[in-house]
Structure 1
Amino acid sequence: MMTIISLILLVSLLPHLTFTARVNVGIVNGREAKPHSRPYMVSVQKDKEHICGGFLISDRFVMTAAHCRKNAPVVTVVLGAHDLRKENSVRFTVDSYHQHPIRQSNLFNNDADVFGLQLEKNVQLNNNIKWISIPAEEGDIEAGSVCSIAGWGLLETKGKRSDHLMETNVTVMNNKKCESKWGKEDFSASQMMCVYGDGGSCEGDSGGPLVCGDTAIGVTSFGDPDLCNSPELPEVYTKISAYIPWIKNIIGNVN
């Protein structure tokens, strides 16, 4: 009799157990994005292997994180992808690399972790390839705002990478709270911002955009070196609005 009751209980719990197992996937605890719902997303690659995210901000300019180039002096970018294993995307070579002057003099800290990739030619825009807006002027996003991130990075700390684009929602953290977590040496409120949530970024998601509404607000920069989506150390993003003059200058120089 007890065996029968145990079996009935197990059968009744199976759907819930399956659901729990499936939830723990994604960028970290995320979900698979609807194919091509984020047409600005870029896979930055070394030797045709994904190393970082990026995003298209004009018809010839990709933004990513500066630290992504540390181990990859030469990269290509893939646009219009959802599943990186498929060949229905477009690959571009990079014509020139643009590093912020602050980063050039401070290569080993987190300042100005933003990098511009000028493509070999203008991108042919279509339903799968579109650029995303960036802020028009400097300013902060209100703490508590719900935004989103996406990428092809690891699904969990030291885990497997996703071939499909994953996404999750995150919440913008108060700058003072973030500074108290990271300390003034690692976090600069004038250049950075923090987010938190049930899901978060992991290795391979660096360089991707933090999107609030329909605007790219931040660039995925760094987090806890030992644990993706750490509950103690929030993820840090380079604040794009802090670099608007520099971005406009290099985009304006594209022929």
Structure 2
Amino acid sequence: MKVLGQFLLFLALVCAASHVQGSVIVNGELAPEGSMQFMVSVQNENGHECGGFLISEDFVVTAAHCDNGLKHVILGGHNWKNSNVKKIEISNQCKHKNYSDVGNGYDIMLLKLANKAPMGRNIKTIPLAKKNMKLSVNQVCSVAGWGKMVSTGGLVDDLMVVNVSIIDHNDCKKSWGKLPPNMICAGGKYTDKGFCQGDSGGPLVWNGKAVGIVSFNKNYNCKYPDVPNVYTDIREYVDWINNITKNKMCPM
């Protein structure tokens, strides 16, 4: 994400790793009209910062590293600049207490909306994966966002989507050298498809359920066949999420 360059470089040096937050959809296509009505553009005063997804009338899930002066969300349309979309202020941010940086995991945050989203034809929620749901190697999922389509490009206005396959966890750990806990790997390695800067916080979707959250890629390079894209595994945080949405407040 464009405003996090210096911070991300600092993380890379301190952690001796190459984790870069965010990303855009690479070699994808325009999301079909009427699809993915759960997608949310999470914004600060400068505009789009991250993706996110609506899980209830008043809660959005995104990545913890997206905490960068967030002000509101935009939902209800594939083009977030369209006059028909809905803008709702953010009243509270519930970042996981164990989050410190993407290299250590726990990259998940819930956003409490100041007003309930008007559910309807263009705005819908997405169910979360169950804790015991199995994901198989090579299983095809989808990821969407408003991020870049090439490493040196700009963010896009229209929602893009691409299919990516689940990568073996041990293969992913070997590729990265170190992998945070509770992560899913899909896309990037073995393919030229995946996410890029600006897609952070968006959902990895399988069978109509959100199974992951876009977390990090490598070195600001959106075409990197040597390492997989990495997502926060939602299945490991279902109880944490349900506790927040039920009590309407962040855990102490």
TM-score scaled by length of structure 2: 0.84
Structure 2 letter corresponding to 1:225: N
Change (3 A) 1:145 1:108: closer
Residue 40 of structure 2 corresponds to residue 42 of structure 1: yes
Contact 2:105 2:182 in 1 (8 A): yes
Shift of 1:163: 0.6
Instruction: Tell me the distance in 1 between the aligned counterparts of 2:71 and 2:195.
Output: 21
Q: Distance in 2 between matches of 1:107 and 1:82?
A: 30
For each residue in 1:80-131, what CA deviation from the matched residue of structure 2 results, as whole angstroms up to 9, or x when unmatched? 121122111000101111011111xx34634100110010122110111000
Greater Rg over alpha carbons, structure: 1
1:122 and 2:122 matched: no
Alignment partner, residue 61 of structure 2: 63
Unaligned runs of 5+ in 1: 1-25
**Aligned residue for 2:182?**
191
**Partner amino acid, structure 2, of 1:92:** I
2:89 equivalent among 86, 90, 93: 93
1:218 aligns to 2:212 (yes or no):
yes
CA distance in 2, matches of 1:75, 1:172: 33
Structure 2 runs not aligned, ≥5 long: 1-23
Deviation at 1:213, TM superposition (A): 1.1
Aligned equivalents of 1:136 and 1:108: distance in 2? 24
Q: Does the 8 Å CA contact 1:48/1:76 hold for their aligned counterparts?
A: no
Give me the TM-score of the superposition, normalised by structure 1. 0.83
- Is contact 2:147-2:156 (8 Å) kept? yes
Q: Aligned pair count?
A: 223
Cα deviation, residue 162, structure 1: 1.1
Residue in structure 1 matched with residue 72 of structure 2 by the alignment: 76
Q: How many percent identity over aligned positions?
A: 39
Matching residue of 2:227? 233
Confirm whether residue 242 of structure 1 aligns to residue 240 of structure 2.
no
Deviation at residue 180 of structure 1 after TM alignment: 0.3
Distance 1:89 1:223, change over 3 A: same
| Aligned partner letter, 1:54 | G
Contact 2:101 2:107 in 1 (8 A): no
> Partner of 2:241: helix, strand, or coil?
helix
TM-superposed deviation, 1:143: 1.0
**Conserved? CA contact 2:197–2:220, under 8 Å:** no
Root-mean-square deviation (CA), in Å? 1.6
Residue 149 of structure 1 corresponds to which residue in structure 2? 143
Alignment partners' CA distance in 1, 2:102 and 2:193: 28
**Is the Cα contact below 8 Å between 1:52 and 1:205 reproduced in 2?**
yes
